[in-house]
């Protein structure tokens, strides 16, 4: 289970945060800037090309992608695969660190992954300390000693992703991945509001 504020929101994140994320997963700085521009051109309502070298309808047409820039916010993270410059391999690296549900310009360091902490510009020593408090080793560090206990956050933002995976007797594996919003927006008599629901997709 993960608080959605741990992830970078594709619809409200600033260009520098997107660039930081792309660099954190191994993209070079020049391409990271271009990809950030393409994300902004996809989600904004105008047809003006981003100064970072983004992508509007003419650029999509040149790449034989007739659908062009959406010019509206992302509805799902998987939509990123349609944005000019993103391939499946890069999408798979980015997917665990992105959301469209938090509505926050910057993710919470309390819940963020090591990759997102790097995108935020958190110093390496501080990242290691944050991860250690959660019982997670930083990259290249020894595993946490079994049996150690660590404090958990007392409360989150109320929007969570939950993954449940099971292995059937025949050895096949199935996973349900849901994103839920607790209470407030659920409506009378409902404890939670389902925002997304996927079956059989593996992270």
CATH number at residue 78: 1.10.40.60
Place of tokens 């000693």: 145
Q: What is the pLDDT of residue 155?
A: 57
Q: Which of 146, 157, 149 is nearest to 110 (CA)?
A: 157
Q: What is the pLDDT of residue 200?
A: 73
Indicate whether 98 and 178 sit together in one domain: no
- Residue numbers in the chain where pLDDT is lower than 70: 136-155, 183-190, 201-203
Look at residue 147 and tell me if it is in a domain: no
Indicate whether 95 and 170 sit together in one domain: no
Q: What is the dihedral sign for C-alpha 10, 15, 20, 22?
A: positive
Place of tokens 């349900």: 176
Look at residue 124 and tell me if it is in a domain: no
Extract the runs of DSSP E, i.e. beta strands, from 43-191: 98-99, 159-167, 173-182
Q: What is the pLDDT of residue 143?
A: 46
Q: Please give the share of the chain, as a percent, with pLDDT higher than 70.
A: 85
Q: What is the pLDDT of residue 137?
A: 55
Q: What is the pLDDT of residues 49-105, one digit of tens each?
A: 998 889 999 999 999 999 999 999 999 999 999 999 999 999 999 999 999 999 999
Q: What is the dihedral sign for C-alpha 120, 124, 126, 130?
A: positive
User: Which residues constitute the domain of residue 173?
Assistant: 159-199
Q: What is the pLDDT of residue 146?
A: 43
Extract the runs of DSSP E, i.e. beta strands, from the chain: 2-3, 8-9, 98-99, 159-167, 173-182, 192-199
Q: Which of 92, 119, 146 is the last residue of a domain?
A: 119
Indicate whether 105 and 17 sit together in one domain: yes
Question: What φ, ψ does residue 95 adopt, rounded to 5°?
Answer: -50, -45
Q: What is the pLDDT of residue 141?
A: 45
Indicate whether 111 and 28 sit together in one domain: yes
Q: What is the pLDDT of residue 149?
A: 41
Q: Quick one: angle between helices 15-24 and 29-43, nearest 10?
A: 130
Domain count within the chain? 2
Q: What is the pLDDT of residue 71?
A: 96
């Amino acid at each position: 289970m993960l608080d959605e504020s741990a992830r970078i929101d594709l619809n409200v994140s600033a260009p520098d945060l997107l660039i930081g994320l792309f660099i954190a997963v191994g993209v070079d700085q020049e391409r990271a800037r271009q990809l950030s521009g393409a994300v902004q051109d996809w989600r904004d309502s105008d047809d003006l090309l981003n100064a970072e070298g983004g992508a509007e309808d003419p650029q999509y047409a040149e790449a034989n992608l007739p659908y062009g820039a959406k010019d509206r916010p992302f509805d799902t993270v998987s939509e990123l695969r349609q944005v000019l410059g993103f391939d499946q391999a890069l999408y798979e690296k980015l997917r665990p660190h992105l959301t469209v549900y938090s509505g926050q310009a910057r993710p919470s360091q309390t819940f963020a992954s090591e990759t997102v902490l790097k995108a935020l510009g958190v110093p390496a020593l501080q990242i290691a300390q944050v991860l250690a408090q959660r019982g997670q080793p930083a990259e290249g560090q020894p595993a946490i000693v079994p049996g150690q206990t660590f404090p958990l956050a007392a409360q989150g933002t109320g929007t969570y992703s939950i993954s449940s995976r099971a292995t059937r007797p025949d050895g096949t594996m199935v996973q349900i991945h849901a994103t839920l919003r607790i209470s407030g927006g659920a409506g009378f008599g409902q404890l939670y509001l389902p925002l997304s629901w996927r079956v059989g997709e593996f992270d």
